[in-house]
C-alpha cells in the first residue's frame, strides 16, 4: 500500500488537501494498489467527505471523553471520517507509554494504527503493543532525495525480522518506483511518502509512477 502523508505542506492543507486527496482518490480507483492519505487532523472532515479512499489522522491523544482541552480524541477522529491514525511520527514523537495507550484508544473505536519508528529496536518494542502496521523511517532521510531502501536497506530487513509478524512499511526519501520495488524486496508491505508527492509539480504522474513499483 501507498500511504501519502500530507504533513503540513501548503500544497496539502485546507482546500488544497481536498484537491490533492481527489487526485489520490482518482488514481486509487484505477490501480490495484491501496492508496491511503494522512491529512492534518483539522482537515479530516473536509477531506473524508470528498473521497472514498481511507483517510488517516496524523495524531491521536490517549484521552477519553471529558476535560482534555486541545487533545485529539479517538471518538472525534473517527466521527470526523478517519479510517486510521499515524502514531509517533518522527515529527510528532511521544513516549512509549503514550504509544501503547494511543494504540489501545484507537483500536477501541476501530481505527487502523500505523506506528512510526526510527530503529529496529524501537520497532521490536512497539510490536508488543500489536499495532496494525509499523513504519520504519530514518529521521535523517526524511524530506531528502536518497531513499531509505538505498541509504539504509538493512534497516528495513532488520525491522521485518524483529516485529513478530506485524506488517512493516517504510519511508523517508522515497521518490521513484525503483525505491518502492527495492523496499518491497526487502520485506516492506508498503511505503510512507510525503515530499515526493506534496512537492511534485504533477502529483498524479508521480503517484502513478510509484504504484508501478509494487507491481
Task: Please identify every residue annotated as catalytic.
Answer: 89, 137
- Give whichever of 28 and 135 is closer to ligand G3P, judged by the CB atom: 135
Q: How far apart are CA 50 and CA 48, in angstroms?
A: 5
Backbone torsions φ then ψ of 35, nearest 5 degrees:
-120, 125
Verify binding: residue 56, ligand G3P, rule CB under 6 A: no
User: Which lies closer to ligand G3P via its Cβ, residue 62 or residue 196?
Assistant: 196
Q: From the CB of 86, what's the least distance to ligand G3P, in Å?
A: 7
Q: Distance between CA 121 and CA 137 in Å, rounded?
A: 13
Nearer to ligand G3P, 75 or 209 (CB): 209
195 binds ligand G3P (CB under 6 A): yes
Binding to ligand G3P (CB under 6 A) within 83-142 occurs at: 89-90, 137, 142
Q: Is 36 in the site for ligand G3P (CB under 6 A)?
A: no
Which residue number, 7 or 100, has a Cβ lying nearer to ligand G3P? 7
DSSP 8-state code for residue 213: T
**Any idea which residue has 508488543 for its cell?**
128
148 burial (CB, 10 Å; 0-12 / 13-18 / 19+) is: buried
The site for ligand G3P, by CB under 6 A, has a size of 15
DSSP string, 31-47: SSS-EEEEE-GGGHHHH
Q: Work out how close the CB of 131 gets to ligand G3P at its nearest, in angstroms, rounded to a whole number.
A: 15
> CB of 154 within 8 A of CB of 136?
no
For the record, the C-alpha cell of 39 comes out as 491529512
Using CB under 6 A as the criterion, which residues of the chain lie in contact with ligand G3P when the complex forms?
5, 89-90, 137, 142-143, 171-174, 192-196
Amino acid at each position: 500500500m501507498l500511504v501519502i502523508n500530507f504533513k503540513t505542506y501548503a500544497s496539502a492543507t485546507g482546500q488544497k488537501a481536498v484537491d490533492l486527496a481527489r487526485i489520490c482518490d482518482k488514481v486509487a480507483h484505477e490501480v490495484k494498489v491501496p492508496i491511503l492519505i494522512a491529512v492534518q487532523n483539522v482537515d479530516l472532515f473536509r477531506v473524508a467527505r470528498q473521497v472514498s479512499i481511507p483517510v488517516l489522522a496524523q495524531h491521536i491523544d490517549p484521552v477519553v471523553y471529558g476535560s482534555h482541552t486541545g487533545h485529539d480524541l479517538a471518538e472525534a477522529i473517527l466521527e470526523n471520517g478517519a479510517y486510521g491514525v499515524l502514531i509517533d511520527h518522527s515529527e510528532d514523537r511521544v513516549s512509549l507509554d503514550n504509544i501503547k495507550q494511543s494504540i489501545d484508544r484507537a483500536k477501541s473505536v476501530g481505527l487502523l494504527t500505523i506506528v512510526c519508528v526510527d530503529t529496529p529496536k524501537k520497532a521490536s518494542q512497539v510490536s508488543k503493543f500489536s499495532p496494525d502496521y509499523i513504519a520504519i523511517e530514518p529521521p535523517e532521510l526524511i524530506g531528502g532525495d536518497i531513499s531509505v531502501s538505498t541509504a539504509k536497506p538493512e534497516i528495513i530487513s532488520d525491522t521485518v525480522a524483529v516485529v513478530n509478524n506485524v506488517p512493516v512499511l517504510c519511508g523517508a526519501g522515497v521518490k521513484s518506483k525503483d525505491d518502492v520495488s527495492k523496499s518491497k524486496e526487502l520485506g516492506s508491505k508498503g511505503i510512507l511518502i510525503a515530499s515526493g508527492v506534496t512537492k511534485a509539480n504533477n502529483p498524479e504522474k508521480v503517484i502513478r509512477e510509484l504504484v508501478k513499483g509494487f507491481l
